[in-house]
Amino acid sequence: MTNMNDLKSARNPVARHVRDMPPSGIRDFFEIVSTMKDVISLGIGEPDFVTPWHIREAAIYSLERGITSYTSNLGLLKLRQALAAYVDRVFHVRYKPENEILITVGVSEALDLALRAIIEPGDEILYHEPCYVSYSPIITFAHGIPVRVETRAEDGFRLTPAMMAERITPRTRALLLNFPNNPTGAGLSREDLLGIADLAQQHDLIVIADDIYAELTYDGVHTSIASLPGMKQRTIFLHGFSKSWAMTGFRLGYACAPPDLVGAMMKIHQYTMLCAPITSQEAALEALKRADEDIAAMREEYRRRRNLIAATFHDLGIPCVTPQGAFYVFPDIRQFGLSSRDFAYKLLDEEKVAVVPGTAFGPCGEGFVRCSYATAMADIKEALLRIERFTRRLAKT
């Protein structure tokens, strides 16, 4: 007689596509770093600034007034109106607050919704590596097929239309762009942006633009692909408060897209998340009131740190593409004959400096490490001294 319990236990309760997903490349590294004392970490992917006080105060005040309810699924209308004005002013794209903007729990949720809204099982999504650790996994979780395009240090991690065109197939559904880029700090030139827009139009593709680091652009001004002729109708523009306003823990992002796409994303959002936390939405409303001053102050500080860290790597003879935005540098450590992982572990062990192995951001990150400069200037300087000592020793052996 067959025992039902035996049958059940014989079957793995975890879905295959989840089971087969490798854990994040930075997870085990994080475990080791977090047990060590006196580590200077250049491994942090969030601002070291605290959210500006007037924004925190607005969140506190909303709690005092008892504003603790759900909001509309799309998010507070007054916040969507303020965002419509901000996106128009800064990114030069007009979205209707009524049906073209959706407030989400961070850009992470917005990206997940976008992918789930457009992917049918087996659809291919093109994205570029090295990139943020989540892209490939969440495409897979949405039953899509992640197709990577590798950018190279030799080209300044430039993404060209030709590189993308090579990987387009009849199953390609969308292009996922992230500039300024985590982890390389690379930007995208207007020329390449126009070429990629052409490509999207030719092949009838959707573009998902993760522009989370847009305001942290140090040379020139960021152009969003959504603002190019004919692109608004096929772009899902993603942006949020975490990086530019130092509001990571508030978990607040938003998506702007044509009504049918926002409607589709909203359908998933309303059945899963319902709405973004109202306290965070109230805080975001305040953030938009003094956006330019808050951001300018932080951007200037990041710019000085970028200059220091990039120039120091240069002086040490460690090649490093000068980042155009975000708060990361991605130096080339191939001359030391260690893998990214070994380099990072050895540096941590010998000098107590944490950097993230480049391979965490895709296989083509091998030979590189990511150093975040979202860390106090004094710590950056000390970390650079330790890296200098460490690499001098490596060069001798």
Partner 1 sequence: MDELLKLLKQNALETPENLARMLGLTPDEIRGRIAEYEKRGVIRGYQAVVNHDQLDIDLVTAVIEVKVSPEREGGFNHIADRISKFPEVQSLYLMSGAFDLLLFVSGKDLKDVALFVAEKLATLPGVLSTSTHFMLKTYKDHGVLMESHDEYERLKVSP
Contacts with partner 1, residue ranges (CB under 8 A): 24, 26, 29-30, 33-34, 39, 41, 43-46, 48, 132-134, 182, 300, 304-305, 307-308, 311-312, 354, 356, 360, 381
Q: What is the DSSP letter of 37?
A: S
Euclidean distance between CA atoms 226 and 165, whole angstroms: 19
Smallest gap from Cβ 369 to partner 1, in A, equals 12
Count of residues for the chain? 397
Closest to partner 1 by CB, 196 or 380: 380
Amino acid sitting at position 387: I
Smallest gap from Cβ 50 to partner 1, in A, equals 8
Smallest gap from Cβ 286 to partner 1, in A, equals 21
218: left (phi over 0), alpha (psi -120 to 50) or beta: alpha
Smallest gap from Cβ 34 to partner 1, in A, equals 5
Q: How many helices (H) and strands (E) does the chain have?
A: 14, 12
Smallest gap from Cβ 384 to partner 1, in A, equals 9
Q: What is the DSSP letter of 312?
A: H
Sign of CA dihedral 396, 40, 45, 302: negative
Closest to partner 1 by CB, 34 or 68: 34
Closest to partner 1 by CB, 280 or 372: 372
Amino acid sitting at position 360: A
Smallest gap from Cβ 41 to partner 1, in A, equals 5
Smallest gap from Cβ 341 to partner 1, in A, equals 13
Closest to partner 1 by CB, 26 or 125: 26
Burial of residue 316 (CB within 10 Å: 0-12, 13-18, 19+) is middle
Smallest gap from Cβ 252 to partner 1, in A, equals 17
Strand partners, 125: 146, 174
Euclidean distance between CA atoms 327 and 67, whole angstroms: 34
Closest to partner 1 by CB, 50 or 162: 50
Closest to partner 1 by CB, 15 or 36: 36
Contact predicate 340/12, CB 8 Å? no
Closest to partner 1 by CB, 81 or 248: 248
Q: Where are the alpha helices (DSSP H) in the chain?
A: 4-10, 16-19, 27-35, 53-64, 77-91, 106-118, 135-141, 161-165, 190-202, 259-272, 278-289, 291-315, 340-351, 377-396
Is the previous residue joined to 130 through a cis bond, with omega within 30 degrees of 0?
yes
Contacts of residue 37, defined as CB under 8 A and 6 or more positions apart, other chains included, come to: none
Closest to partner 1 by CB, 132 or 179: 132
Closest to partner 1 by CB, 262 or 387: 387
Contact predicate 139/126, CB 8 Å? no
Amino acid sitting at position 388: E
Burial per residue of 19-28, b for 16 or more beta-carbon CB atoms within 10 angstroms, e otherwise:
eeeeeebbee
φ, ψ of residue 254 to 5 degrees: the values are -155, 160
Smallest gap from Cβ 80 to partner 1, in A, equals 28
